[in-house]
Amino acid sequence: MPPSRTLGSITVTALADAEGAFFPLVQRAELPALETITPALPAGLVDPLRAAGQLRVLDGDTPLTEGVRVLSTPGHTPGHQSVLLESGDDRMLVTGVTL
């Protein structure tokens, strides 16, 4: 993938410490947790993204494009996700908040 090509923005979790982050890709399991963990986030960010057709809700591991997959890695939050980047024999896992 050319370095100039942006695929989008993926947030691994949507907690108050990540408030204001743009996350058009979110695990379905994260949505109900938002109401409990960060009550203002659904109305302030999730609902507008959904209304604009910019929110993509994922159900588990999801390939995005060649060499890029979102992996469901619940733990820190129910809908925590990681991103696996692959190119040839090289792999990089962006895990976000794993503790």
pLDDT tens digits for 43-81?
888 888 889 888 889 999 999 889 989 999 988 788 888
* pLDDT reported for residue 19: 46
Residue 89: both structure tokens together: 């024999």
Taking the alpha carbons at both ends of the chain, their separation in whole angstroms is: 30
6-29: average pLDDT: 58
pTM, 2 dp = 0.72
* pLDDT reported for residue 98: 62
Query: 39 pLDDT band (50/70/90 cuts)?
Result: confident
- The answer to whether residues 98 and 15 touch, using CB atoms and an 8 Å cutoff, is no
In this predicted structure, the answer to whether residue 86 has a pLDDT above a threshold of 60 is: yes
